[in-house]
Amino acid sequence: MKACGQTDKGCKREKNEDSILLNDRINLYIVADGMGGHMLGEVASQIAVRAINETIEKDILNQDSLSLKKDEYIKEILGEALTKANKEIYDYSQKLSEETIMGTTVSAALIRNNKLYIAHVGDSRIYRLRKGNLKKLTKDHNKAQEFVDAGLLKEEEAENHRSSHILTRALGSSDSVMPAINVHDIKNDDKFLLSTDGLFRVLNTDAVKDIMVNKLSLEEKCGMLIEKTLEGGAPDNVSVIIIEPTPKRLFHRIFS
């Protein structure tokens, strides 16, 4: 397993409210984009990645290997982790005042059993690069996506539509949350990209794909994604994680 991540405050923001996490011990990777004034967004995203990581690592390291081969059990672990993180963020805001609203997007990728398990809330994204095609594996939780679902907008029109900034789900903004959780098989040479919206509001899919397919190191690809976003004006914080799994059959081929 190879993974690399970078984050930057962008060109116009005073601080970085994004948080990222790379836990190679259990192959867990998270991006989160916080929201809320007076640094509350920064706090929300930091709570999210810490709480999710602690819950998932504890559950995985304490469970028997047989249970961890079951998709439904892994998905249950992810759901529990996001629920706990949501409660911690919400409780923190309520201690400040009942009027305080803070929250964060989150996209988490856990790789086990030669599969990618995704837990997602908000409009940060996870993409898969397969045979030169870049496909979005998450669905944005915002008003623009609701208009797409209703047939009122085309997918490409929703990308920078004025309603795309209105989240319909966020972690910690209310006392309950409904994360989207799904699983995808990993094939040879698949690569995955996690990003906050600061990336794709500046770079289109083709620009991102051109960097992802380039024969560069992971560090160079991450750096180039950030650099090109900054060159495009980067009005928001921007964070990326690139993952290159080692498929099980390739592992067996090397060591059998």
CA distances in angstroms from 43 to 30, 34, 93, 138, 158, listed in the order given: 15, 7, 10, 24, 29
CA distances in angstroms from 79 to 37, 116, 182, listed in the order given: 27, 15, 10
Task: Give the pLDDT confidence score for residue 38 in this predicted structure.
Answer: 64
Q: 2-255 is classed in which CATH architecture?
A: 4-Layer Sandwich (3.60)
Given a cut of 50, the residues of the chain with pLDDT beneath it are: 249-256
Provide DSSP, 122-156: SS-EEEEEETTEEEE-S---BHHHHHHHTTSS-HH
Task: Give the pLDDT confidence score for residue 68 in this predicted structure.
Answer: 83
Task: Give the pLDDT confidence score for residue 139 in this predicted structure.
Answer: 96
Task: Give the pLDDT confidence score for residue 111 in this predicted structure.
Answer: 96
Task: Give the pLDDT confidence score for residue 1 in this predicted structure.
Answer: 87
Task: Give the pLDDT confidence score for residue 247 in this predicted structure.
Answer: 56
Task: Give the pLDDT confidence score for residue 256 in this predicted structure.
Answer: 32
Task: Give the pLDDT confidence score for residue 54 in this predicted structure.
Answer: 97
What does the domain layout of the chain look like in residue ranges?
2-255
Task: Give the pLDDT confidence score for residue 67 in this predicted structure.
Answer: 77
Task: Give the pLDDT confidence score for residue 243 in this predicted structure.
Answer: 98
